[in-house]
Amino acid sequence: MNASDVKATLSFSDGSPSMDLPIYKGSIGPDVIDIRKLYGQTGKFTYDPGFLSTASCQSAITYIDGDKGELLYRGYPIEQLATGCDFLDTCYLLLYGELPNEQQQRDFHKLVNNHTMVNEQMQFFLRGFRRDAHPMAVMTGLVGGLSAFYHDSTDINNPKHREIAAIRLIAKMPTLVAMAYKYSIGQPYIYPKNDLSYAGNFMRMMFATPCEEYVPNDVLVRAMDRIFILHADHEQNASTSTVRLCGSSGTNPFAAIAAGVACLWGPAHGGANEACLNMLEEIQQMGGVEKIGDFIKQVKDKTSSVKLMGFGHRVYKNYDPRAKLMRETCHEVLSALGLENDPLFKLAMALEKIALEDEYFVSRKLYPNVDFYSGIVQRAIGIPVSLFTAIFALARTVGWIAQLNEMIADPEYKIGRPRQLFVGAERRDVPPLSAR
Ligand code: CMC
Q: What is the pLDDT of residues 184-222, one digit of tens each?
A: 999 999 999 999 999 999 999 999 999 999 998 999 999
pLDDT (0 to 100) of residue 151: 77
Q: Is the CB of 314 under 6 A from ligand 1?
A: yes
Q: Which of 264, 305, 313 maximizes ligand 1 atoms within 8 Å of its Cβ, making it the mutation to test the pocket? A: 313
Ligand 1 atom at minimum distance from 310 CA: 44
Candidates 86, 234, 313, 320; catalytic one: 313
**DSSP characters for 47-73?**
--GGGSS---S--SSEEEETTTTEEEE
CB of 312 closer than 6 angstroms to any ligand 1 atom: yes
Q: Could you say which DSSP state residue 260 is in?
A: H
d(CA 329, CA 331): 5
Domain ranges, ordered by start, for the chain: 2-55, 90-270+387-409, 272-381
Q: In what order do the strands lie in the sheet with 19-25?
A: 2-10, 19-25, 32-33
Looking at residue 2, its pLDDT comes to 86
Give the pLDDT of residue 153.
64
Distance CA 65, CA 78 (A): 12
Total residues found in the chain within this entry: 436
Does residue 307 have its Cβ closer than 6 Å to ligand 1?
yes
Q: How far apart are CA 31 and CA 34, in angstroms?
A: 10
Phi and psi for 73 in degrees, rounded to 5?
A: -100, 120
Ligand 1: which atom is nearest the Cα of residue 307? 1
Q: How many CB atoms lie within 10 A of CB 75?
A: 13
Ligand 1 binding pocket mutation candidate from 236, 369, 373 (most atoms within 8 A of CB): 369
DSSP-assigned states of every residue in 196-227: S-HHHHHHHHHH-BTTB-----HHHHHHHHHH
- Does residue 313 carry a catalytic annotation? yes
Provide the percentage of residues in the chain whose pLDDT is more than 70: 100
Alpha-carbon dihedral 334, 339, 343, 349, rounded to 10 degrees: 30
Q: Is 396 in the pocket of ligand 1 (CB under 6 A)?
A: no
Question: What are the Cα distances from residue 396, in Å, to 218, 231, 243, 287, 312?
Answer: 23, 6, 11, 35, 20
Taking 50 as the pLDDT cut, the residues of the chain under it are none
What per-residue confidence (pLDDT) applies to 5?
87
Cα–Cα distance between 160 and 168 in angstroms, integer?
A: 12
**CA-proximal residue: ligand 1, atom 28 (nearest):** 314
Question: What CATH number labels 90-270+387-409?
Answer: 1.10.580.10
Q: How far is CA 58 from CA 30, 51, 192, 251, 282, in A?
A: 12, 14, 37, 21, 42
> In this predicted model, what pLDDT tens digit does every residue of 54-100 receive, in sequence order?
999 999 999 999 999 999 999 999 999 999 999 999 999 999 999 99
CB 153 within 8 A of CB 161: yes
Nearest residue CA, atom 30 of ligand 1?
314
Best of 278, 279, 308, 311 for a ligand 1 pocket test (most atoms within 8 Å of beta carbon): 311
Ligand 1 centroid to Cα of residue 28, in Å, is 25
Sheet of 70-73: strands edge to edge?
62-65, 70-73, 76-77
From ligand 1's centre to the CA of 313, what distance in Å?
Answer: 6
State the pTM of this model.
Answer: 0.93
| pLDDT (0 to 100) of residue 349 | 87
In terms of CATH architecture, what is 272-381? Orthogonal Bundle (1.10)
Q: What is the pLDDT of residue 7?
A: 94
Q: In sequence order, which ranges of 384-428 are alpha helices (DSSP H)?
A: 388-409
Nearest CA residue ID for atom 31, ligand 1: 314
Residue 311 alpha carbon to ligand 1 centre in Å: 7
β-partners of residue 19 are: 10
3-state secondary structure of 7: strand
Q: Ligand 1: which residue has its CA nearest to atom 15?
A: 364
Q: Confirm or reject: Cβ of 272 under 6 Å from ligand 1.
A: yes
Mutate to test the pocket of ligand 1, among 279, 305, 314, 389 (most ligand atoms within 8 A of CB): 314
Query: pLDDT tens for residues 407-418?
Result: 999 998 999 999
Separation CA 136–CA 144 (nearest Å): 12
In this predicted structure, what is the pLDDT of residue 236? 97
**CATH number among 3.40.50.1820, 2.20.28.60, 3.40.50.1360, 3.40.50.10490, domain 2-55:** 2.20.28.60
Average pLDDT, the chain: 94
In angstroms, the Cα distances linking 432 to 144, 347, 426, 428, 436 are 44, 63, 18, 13, 7
pLDDT at position 334 is 92
